[in-house]
């Protein structure tokens, strides 16, 4: 989804920005676009990570009442999970599955908003 979104919008937005400014401002405008895209990616990554960690934390609360264990799992799951029983490993995997599913839904929603913003609602919905 992310690759499709970037593939559609990067080239179009670059051309739009370059055609909207004077030739003397071309470098500044293109640089600002690259900076904005990078900053947006960083913000998106931070939000996605926060959502994932919050979802995992909430799903693990019943199976792991000790907040220290939950913190260890969220900080280094590949170190802790192999030491758990198979039942608890399944709980941790399900918690991460739930978190990644939520992040995917959020990204899909932003992708949809991006399509509408890029092409307009009349091109998306006949």
Q: Report whether pLDDT(13) > 90.
A: no
The predicted pLDDT at position 117 comes to 76
Q: Is residue 76 part of a domain?
A: yes
Q: Is residue 126 part of a domain?
A: no
Q: Report whether pLDDT(22) > 70.
A: yes
- Structural domain of residue 50, as residue ranges? 1-120
How far apart (Å, rounded) are the C-alpha atoms in residues 57 and 100?
A: 13
| Beta strand spans in the chain (E) | none
Q: Is residue 38 part of a domain?
A: yes
Confidence of residue 9 (pLDDT cuts 50, 70, 90): low
pTM: 0.72
pLDDT in tens, 101-111: 999 999 888 88
Q: Report whether pLDDT(93) > 90.
A: yes
Q: Report whether pLDDT(10) > 90.
A: no
Cα–Cα nearest to 58, from 90, 25, 28, 99: 99
* Distances, alpha carbon 30 to alpha carbons 17, 36, 40, 113, in Å: 7, 10, 15, 23
Burial of residue 5 (CB within 10 Å: 0-12, 13-18, 19+) is: middle
Q: Report whether pLDDT(8) > 70.
A: no
In angstroms, the first-to-last Cα distance of the chain is: 22
Q: Is residue 125 part of a domain?
A: no
Q: How many domains does the chain have?
A: 1
Q: Is residue 105 part of a domain?
A: yes
């Amino acid at each position: 989804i992310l690759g499709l979104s970037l593939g559609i919008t990067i080239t179009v937005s670059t051309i739009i920005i370059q055609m909207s400014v004077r030739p003397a401002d071309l470098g500044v405008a293109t640089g600002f676009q690259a900076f904005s895209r990078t900053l947006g990616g960083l913000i998106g990554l931070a939000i996605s990570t926060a959502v994932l960690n919050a979802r995992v934390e909430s799903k693990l609360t019943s199976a792991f009442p000790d907040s220290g264990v939950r913190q260890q799992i969220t900080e280094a799951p590949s170190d802790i999970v192999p030491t758990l029983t198979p039942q608890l490993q399944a709980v941790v995997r399900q918690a991460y599955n739930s978190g990644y599913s939520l992040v995917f839904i959020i990204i899909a929603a932003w992708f949809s908003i991006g399509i509408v913003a890029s092409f307009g609602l009349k091109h998306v919905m006949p």
